[in-house]
Amino acid sequence: MIEPNILISTLHAIRAKNPLILNITNQVATQFTANILLGLGASPAMANAEEEVEEFVQKSNALVINIGTLSTPQLRSMQLASRTAYQQNIPWILDPVGISASLYRAKTTLSLLQNFPNAIRGNASEIISLYHYHQNTSLRTQGHGVDSLDSSHDALEAAKQLALSYKTTVSISGQTDYITNGKESVSVRNSHPLLTKVTGSGCAATAITAACLAVEKNTLYACSAAMAFIGIAADIAMQHINAPGSLQIGLIDELYLLNDEKIIKYAKINLVK
């Protein structure tokens, strides 16, 4: 079990250091992602121009690469930013949104992996698809656009293999979230089904993970803390709301209000045997 004190120290570090998180991300979720980071205590930067991303990366504490609304100019920026982050030892996270929707997305993701992200976060279908592309085998996922119809548990073995191949940590979101570095795996049971009705909730989880990576060197701990933070926020928000529009605002509010006592009370994190 990951002790609550690890989550608490990560939250305190984010709020004390206010890490700058550069997001080259999904147009659909840009504002929500920025507000989520502000609510948590980090500082968001949203930059896409190839001419400035290298400089932005060098000033940032972590980088988010999210392929949700991919374009060729954005891809050039992603390649430059992720390469710079790797060379400068700045943590970065890859979110392969809808990777199975097109060969372009698949090739993009595989090319970005050559810059060795510190973490990969996706839903079960995305992680399974990524594994099959990595293996150059036929795909057998149940994705629907950017949504997953696969179980997060069914993606765990694929995630372990990806983690070992790229020396990274893989975070799978679902009814139960799983995080693995290939040798150790963690389950996080803080989540709510209504999160699937909030556009950008997965993108938000990726951004929160980047904030945690900026202050916590153990990537397994950082990724686990991130999924616990957004899950706890959803759990608490759903105590007084019942619709996805309110949940989006509730997530920002509850991340802002997250404290030691709430982490101790609500966190459901265990090692997977």
Q: Which residue ranges are tagged as binding site for substrate?
A: 46, 200
Closest CA to 224 of 163, 167, 176: 176
Annotated binding site: 46, 121, 173, 200
Give φ, ψ of 252 to 5 degrees: -60, -45
Distances (CA, A) of 143 to 92, 98, 164, 211, 264: 25, 8, 24, 28, 35
Closest CA to 228 of 258, 270, 190, 172: 190
Question: Residue 213: helix, strand or coil by DSSP?
Answer: helix
Annotated binding site for ATP: 121, 173
- Cα(31)–Cα(40) distance, integer angstroms: 14
Question: Residue 270: helix, strand or coil by DSSP?
Answer: strand
Give φ, ψ of 198 to 5 degrees: -110, 110
